Amino acid sequence: MDITECDLPETALHAYHLSEPITYTDCFTCDVKRDVDLQAFILAFYTSGIFKAERLVLRLLARAPSNDADVLALASGASTTLAVWKVEARAKDQIVLDAGRTKSWLHVAPSDTGTRLFFGSVVVPEPAKGGRPPRMGPVFETLLTPHKLYSRLLLAAAARRLAST
């Protein structure tokens, strides 16, 4: 699966973060050779094996359980929450989920060969405190490289599931 990192499209529902100083955004894409709507992408993404492991961690450490039925409710629009995330914005082809300082974004767009899948993240800085300006903080800096690898793995897992159905 060919995963590419690219600039965030201006049409992304969370593109307003691009003008904010310090805020981190990323965007990864890949193509699948079939038509995929947002609901199918949400289902494939949040029910992949790798993401089920994250859901387990969230259940145990954050006391934020979720299951495949919760993912289906989010995907269909019947729910606006999943574990630690709340829908910040949604359109026919994209969704932004907010979990405090972090956000996740899924988007589908037609491509020449089927559908281009997009997955991106936002991390907003720690607020100013005690005369210190806003900053990303040491945890962000430590986890940035693993985050990018994990993002690629998540998108690839969803794309493989969609390609095989």
CATH of the domain at 82: 3.30.530
Question: Residue 104: its pLDDT value, please?
Answer: 97
Pairwise CA distance, residues 165 & 155, whole Å: 16
**Residue span of the structural domain in which 146 resides:** 4-159
Q: What one-letter code names the amino acid at 119?
A: F
The three-class DSSP label of residue 71 is helix
Pairwise CA distance, residues 95 & 130, whole Å: 35
The answer as to whether 164 is a domain residue is: no
The answer as to whether 165 is a domain residue is: no
The answer as to whether 127 is a domain residue is: yes
* Encoded tokens for 60: 């145990």
The answer as to whether 53 is a domain residue is: yes
Pairing of strands 81-82, 94-98: unpaired
Question: Residue 130: its pLDDT value, please?
Answer: 86
pLDDT range class, residue 83, cuts 50, 70, 90:
very high
| Count of C-beta atoms within a 10 Å radius of residue 164 | 8
- pLDDT tens digits along 1-27: 799 999 999 999 999 999 888 899 999
The strand ranges marked E within the chain are: 4-5, 24-32, 81-82, 85-91, 94-98, 102-111, 114-123
Indicate the number of domains in the chain: 1
The answer as to whether 104 is a domain residue is: yes
* Encoded tokens for 117: 């899948």
Q: Which residue has the tokens 């307003």?
A: 16
Q: Which residue has the tokens 């996740």?
A: 104
- pLDDT tens digits along 116-152: 999 999 999 888 888 888 888 888 889 999 999 999 9
- Hey, which residues does 87 pair with through a beta bridge? 97
- pLDDT tens digits along 36-78: 999 999 999 999 999 998 898 898 988 998 999 999 999 999 9
- Name the pTM for this structure: 0.94
